Structure 1
Amino acid sequence: MKTVKYIFTLFIIWRVCLFFVAFSSNYLIPQFGARFPYYNTALEPTGLPNWIWGFGNFDGVHYLRLAQEGYIAKFSQSFFPVYPLLIKFFNFLPKDPAIDTRTFVDPSYFYTGLILSNLFFLGFLVFFYKLLKLDYSEKIARLSLILVLVFPTSFYFGSIYTESLFLMLAAASVYYFRTKKYILAGILAAVASATRIVGIFIPVIFLIEMFMNRKNIKVKELASQAVGLLLAPLGLIVYMYYLNRNFGDFLLFLNSQPGFGAGRSSQAYILLPQVIFRYIKMFLTVKFNGKSRFSSFLECSFGIYFYSDPLILVSSLFQKNQTELSMV
């Protein structure tokens, strides 16, 4: 009970801080420039201030439209189905009869999506804690939760995005696989693979766990593990079947990406050194005013933070179960 209270308290503090930062941004950042589609048809109808509906912007508006109308819009198939389906399924809120749903998204979808995303993230924190406790002390588990919450991009977990749902499913599937509930783990991994494309890599974690415990596996247990492994990619397979049946393209979720700018580079591949060189060049050659200089230093610090993570992974690669935690 103490642990649940601790996790819930951390979550509430984090959520309040996010709203405070969003509210403060109205006074610290120039006026919103309306540079992403559908904000006026999917977010403004909520009647909420922008520091609240801002947690549904960019990809969020596409998930809201999918929840209301399905895969009607061109290129919308690049967004995986589980998250918008859950918003639609759990949307028990009353609808606004004055809303023309041919143009606008009913506000109830926003409210449902925001509530679900935060509940999913709370679920992730619980499973992440339980997963850590299998190998580490209470102190390390609690500190890890704090580090997740203070991570610079943790605001995505409280937004209308798939991140919180995917992380909850991934953490839960690995936890149940490690506690020998292999079929349940496979089912959760299958749902994760229909939530985000990276869910297809969760079985790799299962294989690593099987390899590390290969000497203690019995035949019956091995059969259950095999079932869990076979279940894991089914979510993606089912989505690919749906795409082919309805749109004639198994890989439409990939082929739709250029519609959102994913194919805007003239090169087939961009290597990490090229990215680093480009940012160094911009940092050294662009004329700065006060705000842009601050933003550049901020991006630079985030970059150092981000690219140091692989070094941490490599240095601890040979510790027990480090690979599972890193991939989650």
Structure 2
Amino acid sequence: MEKNFTNNLSLILKLLIIVIISRLSLCFVGYLGMNTFPMYDAVKNKISKDTTLINLSGGIGGSNKLKLEDFNKFDSGFYFQIADSGYPKVNMSESSSATRISFFPLYPILLRSMRLLHISSNNIVNSLILSNLLLVLALYYIYRICEDRGFEKNEITLVIALILCYPYSIFYSIPYTESLFLFLSAATIYYATKKDFLKAAIFAGLSSISRFPGVVNIAYLFFMLISEQDFKLQDKGQIKKVLSNMIISIIPLTIYFSYMKYLTGDFLAPLHDVGNWGRKLSIPFKSYFYYILHPYFFSSGGWNNGVISFAIATLVILLFIYYAIRNYKKLNIKQWILFIYGFLIIVVPFSNFGSDLVSIPRYLMVSVPMYLYIVELYREKHYIFSGYLYFFAALNGLITIGFFNGYYFVV
């Protein structure tokens, strides 16, 4: 047991170093971008080029420096508001204005807990610590999942490289829920695979109050539980095992929605409030096919770069299709459950939008099987894997610059 603890600690420390190096690299890219390319506000307001480009004659000392506020962009403020003052009391039947109700509570709860523990009184500092530690823990569980799937150490390194080079990787390390959801999802998969269903139920339940696709983790847990019984539930002990774990997994979401009922008069207020943000339930992949028929470079208001979003979405969709075609005869029931789980994680975002691809690439980045499948499919085809990695890394640099320079399309 002591040896396991030492090995786990050693692995976590190694992953921590890797994460720190990769995040510092992104910060450096952001620093270069802030001093080389115009800020979005400067472009929007047509400020002269001299005010947006680096003044080389002033040396490095005269360049723009990264500040804490540079990490607080877009939706981050809503999580801070919830951490500071909770959710607003509104009547959902009368309100048509977008509120922070549609932002799920686990991440703000963790931020508030850090402040109560006096880690820092600054939400941005706490969020940077929290998000990056959660990323380390996510990589730890993904590392263990890879080991269980028979990956060699160099292959596990490639999986980690894909995750850290994903085009929207910066969102793992800022006040957003990507690293939290990746961690909870990876833990759910790991413990369900190990048949430790109580822990899997806890992590799946917590994922459901970090963001809505967490319900897919609960579904994954359910079907993994059923697969363990070989679909034979005549035994009362088996029925009790399934029901008890499922009840545990839905407790967090039930409490959250019940609180929303008390606060707003609407049990499903977080889902209904999404409509006030201009999003709505749609046929899966409607926005994807709409783009094929009506391609665009930037969507209205600059909130989405259609070319980048479409390219990333296409790579991910084709990956799952190719994996299913190539392996459908080889996969056992548990592997099929994981495949369907990973695919559903990408289907949910494609079912909650109108005619554009806003945020789609960011929502796809938390599908753990995606990274596993890239390595499994192309472990013998290094040129294809390298293509994925270089494509990810190149766009990662572009998105990072766009983020720090305040361009809306990175959201």
TM over 0.5, shorter chain: yes
Deviation at 1:191, TM superposition (A): 1.1
Query: Quick one: structure 1 residues 200 and 170, their matched pair in 2 at CA, closer, same or farther if it must change by over 3 Å?
Result: same
Q: In 2, distance between residues paired with 1:221 and 1:180? A: 13
Q: Which amino acid aligns with 1:305?
A: L
Partner residue in 2 for 1:100: none
Query: Quick one: structure 1 residues 49 and 71, their matched pair in 2 at CA, closer, same or farther if it must change by over 3 Å?
Result: farther
Q: Is the 8 A contact 1:190 1:236 kept in 2?
A: yes
Q: In 2, distance between residues paired with 1:133 and 1:94? A: 36
Q: Does 1:248 align with 2:258?
A: no
Partner residue in 2 for 1:302: 312
Query: Quick one: structure 1 residues 277 and 28, their matched pair in 2 at CA, closer, same or farther if it must change by over 3 Å?
Result: farther
Q: Is the 8 A contact 1:22 1:52 kept in 2?
A: no
Q: Does 1:10 align with 2:10?
A: no
What is the CA deviation profile of residues 210-245 of structure 1, one whole-angstrom value per residue up to 9, with x for unaligned ones? 344434998756633432222222222111100111
Which range moved further: 212-221 or 66-75?
A: 212-221
Partner residue in 1 for 2:112: 88
Query: Quick one: structure 1 residues 226 and 87, their matched pair in 2 at CA, closer, same or farther if it must change by over 3 Å?
Result: same
Once the two structures are superposed, the pairs formed by residues 2-81 of structure 1 within 5 Å of their partners are 3-33=11-41, 49-50=65-66, 52-72=68-88, 75-81=99-105
Which of 163, 179, 189 aligns to 1:164? It is 179
Partner residue in 1 for 2:331: 319
Partner residue in 1 for 2:205: 190
The answer to which structure, 1 or 2, has the higher relative contact order (CA under 8 A, 6+ apart) is 2
Query: Quick one: structure 1 residues 8 and 323, their matched pair in 2 at CA, closer, same or farther if it must change by over 3 Å?
Result: farther
Q: Is the 8 A contact 1:121 1:158 kept in 2?
A: yes
Task: Give the TM-score normalised by structure 1.
Answer: 0.77
Query: Quick one: structure 1 residues 260 and 189, their matched pair in 2 at CA, closer, same or farther if it must change by over 3 Å?
Result: same
Q: Which amino acid aligns with 1:88?
A: R
Deviation at 1:18, TM superposition (A): 1.4
Q: Which amino acid aligns with 1:188?
A: F
Q: In 2, distance between residues paired with 1:322 and 1:130? A: 19
Once the two structures are superposed, the pairs formed by residues 217-236 of structure 1 within 5 Å of their partners are 220=237, 223-236=240-253
SS at match of 1:121: helix
Deviation at 1:308, TM superposition (A): 2.8
Query: Quick one: structure 1 residues 275 and 298, their matched pair in 2 at CA, closer, same or farther if it must change by over 3 Å?
Result: closer
SS at match of 2:294: helix
Once the two structures are superposed, the pairs formed by residues 129-148 of structure 1 within 5 Å of their partners are 129-139=143-153, 140-148=155-163
Q: Which amino acid aligns with 2:33?
A: S
Q: Is the 8 A contact 1:183 1:225 kept in 2?
A: no
Percent sequence identity is: 23
Partner residue in 2 for 1:274: 290
Corresponding residue pairs, total: 290
Q: Which amino acid aligns with 1:148?
A: I
Q: Does 1:127 align with 2:141?
A: yes
Partner residue in 2 for 1:238: 255
Q: In 1, distance between residues paired with 2:214 and 2:157? A: 26
Q: Which amino acid aligns with 1:166?
A: F
Q: In 2, distance between residues paired with 1:3 and 1:201? A: 29
Query: Quick one: structure 1 residues 34 and 174, their matched pair in 2 at CA, closer, same or farther if it must change by over 3 Å?
Result: farther
Query: Quick one: structure 1 residues 308 and 50, their matched pair in 2 at CA, closer, same or farther if it must change by over 3 Å?
Result: farther
Partner residue in 1 for 2:215: 200
Q: In 2, distance between residues paired with 1:251 and 1:300? A: 31
Q: In 1, distance between residues paired with 2:336 and 2:68? A: 37
SS at match of 1:233: helix
Which range moved further: 48-57 or 158-167?
A: 48-57
Deviation at 1:33, TM superposition (A): 1.6
Q: Is the 8 A contact 2:201 2:248 kept in 1?
A: yes
The runs of at least 4 consecutive aligned structure 1 residues that moved more than 4 Å come to 48-52, 215-222, 295-301
Q: Which amino acid aligns with 1:186?
A: A
Q: Is the 8 A contact 1:202 1:232 kept in 2?
A: no
Q: In 2, distance between residues paired with 1:204 and 1:193? A: 11
Q: In 2, distance between residues paired with 1:274 and 1:10? A: 39
Q: Is the 8 A contact 2:226 2:242 kept in 1?
A: no
Deviation at 1:198, TM superposition (A): 0.6
Q: Which amino acid aligns with 1:319?
A: L
SS at match of 2:195: coil
Q: In 2, distance between residues paired with 1:165 and 1:298? A: 25
Q: In 2, distance between residues paired with 1:118 and 1:67? A: 18
Q: In 2, distance between residues paired with 1:196 and 1:242? A: 16
